[in-house]
């Protein structure tokens, strides 16, 4: 059974679990961490910290000063004590630039006039899940995250809940730096569902939600699209076009617009409302928003531009030209047909007579006296 405690040491906040009578401390990779240790104060103290697995001394304090020459090289320059607190019984150790290799069990030994004391701390290093990316490519929805430690897990859920099991394929890889990356994809098997992907470890997790594209109509003159609101206070907002092209990046009320979109962005609110202006057909496509809080929520829209006076004029103009072309072509075809018809009729009668002249001639079809 583990008991969580929150300890504050001179402004440093750390979370400590007590497991079987020993402290277990979770430390962020690359950050600073405090291994707690206390003893009954009184008189001059000898204090040292040892890494149990290697037996190496990582910090040694004697005669009111650090004995750096006895410190293991791996920890050189990365450890310190709270010296103004030692006389009050605080032997806690601050470790900076935490590395995965620092994981393990540590022994704190103190000796002074009241006696000797030792305690143990178990240091666990983790790289939190900082970002989860979720995308849709055709009918596949993909989810990925990287730079994680320890090994993460990935789960899919839908809203509303889907009765059938979500068939997915998940891959986990580890880099030379021992950090993990994880990716997964599934086939969008039911319409009208929001797909959520959660990447988690024992100490951290984040979730991204993908809403299937919704058709909306907009004007070329001005169009407003809204991102789905987050569950908590938003900490950041990113708008993208066709998944990859960033429109703007926003923190609070301040936002930075990419160079290609400056002339099209009229305003953007902290709650996720984007107003665009002066659009053309090249801005028709998928608009997605990434609204961040404790999780990252993605909503997507397909924007179909219509209702613009310019667009109606263009359509009318094109339609007019099409009608003119059809009329001209029809007249030309009719004239050609009429000429061919007359020529064919004329050539089909003897002596070049027309059909009417041929019928009115009384000699047609009869022999003359000379023929007899």
The 10s digit of each residue's pLDDT in 107-135 is 999 999 999 999 999 999 999 999 899 88
Residue that finishes a domain, picked among 286, 307, 328: 307
Q: Is residue 365 part of a domain?
A: no
- Cα dihedral across residues 12, 15, 19, 24: positive or negative: negative
Same domain, 255 and 175: no
**Bridge partners of 220?**
none
Q: Hey, what are 255's tokens?
A: 């936002």
Q: Which helix (H) or strand (E) holds 111?
A: strand 104-112
**Bridge partners of 156?**
197
Q: What is the DSSP letter of 260?
A: G
Instruction: Tell me the pTM.
Output: 0.68
Question: Domain limits at 341?
Answer: 316-346
Q: Dump pLDDT digits (tens) for 4-32.
A: 333 333 334 456 667 677 889 999 999 99
Q: What is the DSSP letter of 119?
A: E
Same domain, 114 and 18: yes
Query: Using CA atoms, how far apart are residues 67 and 59, in angstroms rounded to an integer?
Result: 8
Query: Using CA atoms, how far apart are residues 137 and 213, in angstroms rounded to an integer?
Result: 12
Percent of all residues in the chain with a pLDDT value above 90, rounded to a whole number: 47
pLDDT score for 34: 95
Same domain, 217 and 165: no
Maximum Cα interatomic distance, the chain, rounded to a whole number of Å = 165
pLDDT score for 229: 65
Residue that finishes a domain, picked among 126, 157, 190: 126
pLDDT score for 136: 81
Query: Using CA atoms, how far apart are residues 265 and 180, in angstroms rounded to an integer?
Result: 38
Percent of all residues in the chain with a pLDDT value above 70, rounded to a whole number: 75
| DSSP codes joined into one string, 292-337 | ESSSEEEEEEEEEE---HHHHHHHHHHHHHHHHHHHHHHHHHHHHH
Highest mean pLDDT among 131-140, 146-155, 304-313, 357-366: 146-155
Same domain, 148 and 246: no
Which of the pair, 182 or 228, is modelled with greater confidence? 182
pLDDT score for 257: 94
pLDDT score for 138: 78
Q: What is the mean pLDDT of the chain?
A: 81
pLDDT score for 316: 44
Query: Using CA atoms, how far apart are residues 330 and 333, in angstroms rounded to an integer?
Result: 5
- In the block, tokens 């580890």 appear at 174
Highest mean pLDDT among 17-26, 134-143, 326-335: 134-143
Q: Is residue 303 part of a domain?
A: yes
Q: For residue 154, which of 226, 205, 193, 217 has the smallest C-alpha distance?
A: 205
Same domain, 132 and 227: no
Same domain, 132 and 122: no
- For the chain, the 3-state helix, strand and coil shares in percent, each to the nearest 5, are 20, 45, 35
Strand order across the 265-268 sheet: 222-226, 273-277, 265-268
203, exposed or middle or buried, with CB in 10 Å at 0-12, 13-18, 19+? middle
Query: Using CA atoms, how far apart are residues 227 and 244, in angstroms rounded to an integer?
Result: 17
Q: Which helix (H) or strand (E) holds 148?
A: strand 140-148
Which of the four pLDDT bands, split at 50, 70 and 90, describes residue 356?
very low
pLDDT at 351 over 60: no
Helices (H), 103-164: none
Q: Is residue 21 part of a domain?
A: yes
Same domain, 230 and 188: no
Query: Using CA atoms, how far apart are residues 277 and 297, in angstroms rounded to an integer?
Result: 25
- Give the chain's domain count: 4
Domain of 80, CATH number, reads: 2.60.40.10
pLDDT score for 272: 83
Which of the pair, 43 or 253, is modelled with greater confidence? 43
Same domain, 147 and 99: no
SS3 73: helix
pLDDT score for 206: 93
Same domain, 7 and 107: yes
């Amino acid at each position: 059974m583990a008991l969580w405690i929150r300890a504050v040491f001179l402004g440093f906040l750390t979370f400590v679990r007590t497991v079987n009578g020993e402290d277990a401390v979770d430390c962020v990779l690359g950050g600073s961490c405090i291994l707690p240790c206390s003893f009954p104060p009184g008189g001059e103290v000898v204090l040292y910290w040892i890494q149990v697995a290697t037996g190496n001394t990582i910090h040694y304090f004697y005669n009111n000063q650090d004995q750096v020459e006895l410190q293991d090289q791996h920890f050189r320059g990365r450890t310190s004590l709270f010296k103004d607190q030692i006389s009050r019984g605080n032997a806690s150790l601050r470790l900076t630039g935490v590395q995965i290799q620092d994981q393990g069990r540590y022994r704190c030994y103190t000796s002074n006039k009241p006696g000797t004391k030792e305690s143990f701390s178990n240091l666990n290093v983790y790289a939190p899940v900082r970002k989860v990316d979720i995308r849709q490519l055709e009918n596949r929805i993909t989810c990925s995250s990287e730079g994680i430690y320890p090994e993460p897990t990935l789960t899919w859920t839908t809203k509303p809940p889907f009765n059938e099991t979500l068939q997915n394929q998940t891959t986990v890889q580890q880099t030379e730096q021992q950090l993990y990356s994880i990716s997964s994809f599934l086939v969008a098997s039911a319409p009208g569902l929001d797909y959520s992907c959660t990447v988690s470890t024992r100490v951290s997790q984040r979730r991204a939600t993908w809403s299937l594209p919704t058709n909306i109509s907009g004007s070329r003159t001005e169009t407003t699209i809204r991102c789905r609101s987050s569950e908590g206070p938003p900490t950041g907002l990113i708008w993208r076009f066709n998944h990859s092209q960033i429109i703007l990046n926003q923190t609070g009320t301040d936002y930075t617009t990419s160079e290609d979109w400056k002339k099209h962005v009229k305003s953007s609110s902290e709650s996720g409302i984007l107003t665009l202006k002066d659009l053309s057909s090249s801005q028709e496509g998928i608009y997605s928003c990434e609204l961040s809080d404790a999780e990252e929520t993605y909503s997507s829209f397909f924007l179909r531009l219509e209702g613009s006076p310019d667009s109606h004029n263009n359509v009318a103009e094109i339609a007019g030209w099409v009608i003119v072309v059809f009329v001209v072509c029809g007249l030309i075809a009719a004239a050609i047909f009429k000429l061919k018809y007359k020529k064919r009729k004329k050539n089909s009668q003897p002596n070049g007579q027309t059909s009417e002249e041929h019928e009115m001639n009384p000699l047609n079809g009869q022999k003359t006296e000379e023929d007899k």
